[in-house]
Amino acid sequence: MTAKRSLLSGFGGYLPERIVTNDELASELDTSDEWISGRTGIRQRHRAGEGDTAVSMAAHAARQALDYAGATPSDVDAVIVATSTPDEAFPATAVRVQAELGMTGGFGFDLSAACSGFIYALSVADSLIRSGQARSALVIGSEVYSRILDWSDRGTCVLFGDGAGAVFLTTATPESGEAGILSTHLHSDGRYGDMLYVDGATGQRDRPAHLRMQGRDVFRHAVSKLSASVDEVLAANSLTHAEVDWLVPHQANLRIIDGVARKLALPTERVVVTVDRHANTSAASIPLALNEAVRDGRIKKGDLVLMEALGGGLTWGSALARL
């Protein structure tokens, strides 16, 4: 019996209306556009407004993904939301999204793997489809990092933005040819958990909930672990660097993105970059970038797309898909 394969059938995204430039941050902090952009490639980010929540942004992105696929909420078996910034401890963001979409069937749950969350969620959804437990799945990354940032810490608050991205996975048919998710690869190492974390949790009222990061150490691990992850996913599929059409990386830092692109020997025009405009939207960054590149025609049917991310935990992983 041939294993089922999941197909990337729909793409969607949402970015809050408000844009915050580096210059605006420089008017409030001891920083500058030159300092931020020179170290990270970031020039602006979107910040959630009063009406924006992890649920509302996720639902908006999900509707776009379903519309792209020509599907309706009744066609969805599973909703998986990758988020580190849920609106509530429970119920899960995913079941709130179910309600927003008008779904009365299927199931949903959240997944927390920080900036690697979308790759993790994609892997879980792919496994559900391959095993036959679901015929389709909405995979969403939705983050409101502006609500966990310490706005007096210029080393972290300038790096992140808010937004949501989604893909709709369906079960491939014989007519799909070679399209679909080829493989996903997940890793974590809790020994490095204190490099990137949030110093508060539900039930700890005497502690703030702010993101903390040892930037240089995270950067060092990102370059080495993401490069190894790239080699891993290609080796698993007996493919070479030259066969990759597009790199859609987690959008954390332009220098990290450039480093992985050099590892692949990919020219810059084959790398999807949104970090300059979106900043780091954590679990939302890859689906947001993927949505943009598919909709503007850069990524086309038949292209081989490599996705990779590293986040707090440390967690990291890669996924390879043919559209």
Q: Characterize the bridge pairing of strands 44-47 and 107-111.
A: unpaired
HEC letters along 79-136 = EEEECCCCCCCCCCHHHHHHHHHCCCCCEEEEECCHHHHHHHHHHHHHHHHHHCCCCE
Catalytic-labelled residue, pool 115, 185, 221, 278: 115
Q: How far is CA 99 from the centre of its chain?
A: 23
Nearest-angstrom CA–CA distance, 299 and 68: 15
Whether the CB-CB separation of 294 and 177 falls below 8 Å is answered with no
Strand partners, 285: none
Catalytic-labelled residue, pool 221, 250, 253, 291: 250
Distances (CA, A) of 72 to 67, 69, 101, 134, 295: 7, 9, 9, 16, 19
Is 250 part of the annotated catalytic residue set? yes
Nearest-angstrom CA–CA distance, 93 and 180: 27
Closest CA to 323 of 1, 3, 5: 5
DSSP state of 250: -
Nearest-angstrom CA–CA distance, 197 and 272: 27
Is 280 part of the annotated catalytic residue set? yes
Nearest-angstrom CA–CA distance, 39 and 147: 23
Is 253 part of the annotated catalytic residue set? no
What are the catalytic residues? 115, 250, 280
